[in-house]
Amino acid sequence: MTATSVIELLRQQIESCEAQLRDLRQQLAEAEHDQQQEQTHDRLRHATDPHGDPLGHDMNFGIHDDFRSEVFAALSHVEADKPSAPRWPLDKSEYKRYGRQLIMPEIGLQGQLRLKNASVLIVGVGGLGCPAAAYLVGAGVGILGLIDGDTVEESNLHRQILHSTGRVGMTKVDSARIALNSLNPNVKLVAHTSHLTPESAIRILQLYDIILDCTDTPASRYLISDTCVLLGKPLVSASALRTEGQLMVLNNPPLRAGDSRGGPCYRCVFPKPPPPESVVTCGDGGILGPVVGVMGILQALEAIKLLTRNAQPPLTSEPMLAQPSDPPSLLIFSAYANPMFRSIRLRTRKPKCAACSAQASVTAKALESGSLDYVQFCGTVNPVDALSPSERISVDNYAKLRLAINPFTGMEPSKESHILVDVREKVQYDLCSLEGSINIPFSMVSHTSSHPYNEGNGRQQGAEEQTWVSSLRAYPDKPIVVICRRGNDSQITVRKMKELGLDNGGQRWIGDIKGGLKAWGQTVDRDFPDY
């Protein structure tokens, strides 16, 4: 059993390394191809050989030799005189590459030049950052900065489209650079391979024209917004969870703090952070790839709109008026609603905002000195610690209880001796579960009031809740073992069961399994799926 799993592990590792090698070879081939093309291109541009020139070919016929040499002398003279002055504002290959957006009135030559001269920073190269970066690099921004301190994990790949199977374990920034460079080698990519900190935020963000917040925690959202206000940069902020996404363009226009005509910042909209227990991550709540993809692409779109604003002067007959900024709004995307998009009007700058008002307490000095603790400001969730050691059992001991042969009866495993309650939601329970367990979803447990007679939620619900409680009451002698994904909800469930009196005043043992199914998969049953 142990030997085969080691062999299997090695096989998987070799397979992964080979995939990575294949991937690298392909990247190398592409990079070499690009370089070769560039060199050929340069040679063509600087070629003086008239025979290679289509123009020279035409002139070979019916023209005096003297005149010909004069013309060539003149042509080569011009070229020798101004070797660096380009004939067109964009490189020939750029006309070709960006042709489909160049011919749009919203972009045009001026818009493309603005993109080329612009620098954009992407904070977080995950589900939002990957598609946002891909479209901005595709569109030809001059410089793209990437910040992330994480490495690529297998569970990222369904949505973080710049990364690949072969690059699992690589830093997200490096993985993204490889993909983006092969997409468009004209864009200069700047790597910042550690997470943004209050001390480094100003130094890094000041290098860029527009910031995209593609992060996933409230602390980083406040930090990025505050820094954008201090530096006068517009901020395109998005987030996504499960089937929904939200998008805001903040600090737009990015006027200085105290100027009420400036756009609201993240603190204007959310002056106080949410309670930490209400913050759900993609790892816990789930995320559908295209949902976060849509939001990342919308961020790229808003950045392009901001960079190319007023790039095309209006027709001469119309008065020259600068387009005003769009009024501040929050776009809500909901994949399973109809309609899927909904835009709501947001407030303007908050007169007493801590970041962007005249009374702002967030200053560059406070930020750089590290005296603003964003993690503390947003709070953290303490690990659940609701039970005493005697109410908890380790996965190893539970495995013994479950699998060991009973020394008295000789053979009967102890599986039937207790009730194993799995409190993960049904959809997770259906993915994989321990044999013999029963599923009582945590949402049902937490819907159940500990004081049944104070129930104010309507009859039907009350009756339903009673079912799981009474079914456990029907076997008053069997100990109850509760398990969940990581060992938090199981503790709360044990508490609730005791409040409901299911332990018969302490006569029946009720407890949970420490570390949940994650620990079970790591130490007891290596084949148990980890999702």
Query: Does 489 appear as a known binding residue?
Result: no
Query: Does 155 appear as a known binding residue?
Result: yes
Report whether 94 contacts 140 (CB < 8 A): yes
Measured at the CA of 135, the angle between CA 107 and CA 340, to 5 degrees, comes to: 95
Is 282 in the active site?
yes
Compare residues 140 and 218 and give the one whose CB is closer to another protein. 218
Compare residues 440 and 524 and give the one whose CB is closer to another protein. 440
Identify the CA nearest to 298 among candidates 252, 334, 249.
249
Query: Does 356 appear as a known binding residue?
Result: yes
Smallest separation (angstroms) from another protein to the CB of 336? 9
Q: How far apart are CA 29 and CA 358, in angstroms?
A: 55
Report whether 267 contacts 350 (CB < 8 A): yes
Q: How far apart are CA 19 and CA 12, in angstroms?
A: 10
Out of 130, 228, 378, 484, the active site residue is 484
> Residues interacting with another protein, by CB under 8 A?
124, 126-129, 213-218, 221, 238-242, 244-246, 269-275, 277-282, 285, 287, 292, 330, 332, 334, 337, 342-347, 446-447, 449-451, 454-458, 460-461
Smallest separation (angstroms) from another protein to the CB of 252? 16
Query: Does 214 appear as a known binding residue?
Result: no
Query: Does 159 appear as a known binding residue?
Result: yes
Query: Does 310 appear as a known binding residue?
Result: no
Q: Assign 55 to helix, strand or coil.
A: helix
Smallest separation (angstroms) from another protein to the CB of 487? 17
Out of 130, 214, 228, 282, the active site residue is 282
Compare residues 209 and 244 and give the one whose CB is closer to another protein. 244
Smallest separation (angstroms) from another protein to the CB of 227? 17
Is 378 in the active site?
no
Q: How far apart are CA 8 and CA 526, in angstroms?
A: 11
Compare residues 458 and 506 and give the one whose CB is closer to another protein. 458
Q: How far apart are CA 202 and CA 190, in angstroms?
A: 16
Smallest separation (angstroms) from another protein to the CB of 243? 10
Dihedral angle computed from the Cα positions of residues 333, 338, 339 and 340, in that order, rounded to the nearest 10 degrees: 20
b/e sequence 467-491, b meaning 16+ C-beta within 10 Å: ebbeebeeeeeebbbbbbbbbbbbb
Query: Does 217 appear as a known binding residue?
Result: yes
Q: Copy the structure tokens of residue 294.
A: 């849509």
Compare residues 274 and 476 and give the one whose CB is closer to another protein. 274
Side-chain-side CA neighbours of residue 301 (13 Å): 9
Neighbours of 419 (CB within 10 A): 18
Give catalytic residues, as residue numbers: 282, 484
Binding residues for Zn(2+): 265, 268, 353, 356
Binding residues for ATP: 127, 148, 155-159, 172, 216-217
Binding residues: 127, 148, 155-159, 172, 216-217, 265, 268, 353, 356
